[in-house]
Amino acid sequence: MTPLPRRLLAEFLGTALLVAVVVGSGIAAQTLSPDDAGLQLLENALATVLGLGVLIVVLGPVSGAHFNPVVSAAEWWQSRGSGTGLGTRELAAYVIAQSGGAIGGAVLANTMFARPAVSWAATERAAAHLWLGEVVATAGLVLVVFCLVRTGRTAVAPAAVAGYIGAAYWFTSSTAFANPAVTVGRAFSDSFAGIAPASVPAFVAAQLAGGVIGLLLVAGLFGRAPAGRDQEAVMPHPASRS
């Protein structure tokens, strides 16, 4: 059984590196393609897909490679009463580690590109169609993750999850943040990938709503999770209930 501190380190490190990839590639895209927003999005999305896939492969066996409070909360809910998955205190610890990692990743990316360590984002993302995009993006992510869990196909999670996020960059109006921790982290960088702090609460609320919808869709497709069956996401990981 992997000790909780090691799992928390994996979640902190994974979320930090994910945000560093998202923010860093956004800054690089602005520098390399200053007059082409479509190309900037392509560069940002491609880097995110590749980085996320690698991070899931490398850190998944330690912590599950959630890197996302919604995914952690969904695992906690799906596995309640089963004796597997995250317990309540573990969930709280995961969320703290993910949020801290996201902020650290943004600071790291800013510093690597010789920007102020903290530069509050100025990009306002406050409109109903963007919130709907976040609901759709997050519901789809939860659906992908837990359909794989329920059908025993978590081995393909690195490709499936990264592929879905890459697609959602393009088919959602919000460019698929789909992650409360990453959303908070992206507020710390005034770059292509940034989000103004005032826009964060509504984005997080939309993501939480999307997570609930995703779980309802999983239940509609597969019924309630069987008692005693592992519901660990994104990758199987040796966790204890607490």
**What whole-number distance in Å separates Cα of residue 103 and Cα of residue 167?**
25
DSSP assignment of 134-191, as one string? Answer: HHHHHHHHHHHHHHHHHTT-GGGHHHHHHHHHHHHHHHSTT-----HHHHHHHTTB-S
In order of start, what are the domains of the chain with their CATH numbers? Answer: 4-222 (1.20.1080.10)
Per-position pLDDT tens, the chain of length 242: 789 999 999 999 999 999 999 999 999 999 999 999 999 999 999 999 999 999 999 999 999 999 999 999 999 998 886 667 799 999 999 999 999 999 999 999 999 999 999 999 999 999 999 999 999 999 999 999 999 999 999 999 999 999 999 999 999 999 999 999 999 999 999 999 999 999 999 999 999 999 999 999 999 999 987 765 666 777 666 655 54
Name the β-bridge partners of 189. Answer: 119
**What whole-number distance in Å separates Cα of residue 86 and Cα of residue 76?**
5
Cis preceding-peptide flag for 95 (omega within 30 of 0): no
| pTM score of the predicted model | 0.93
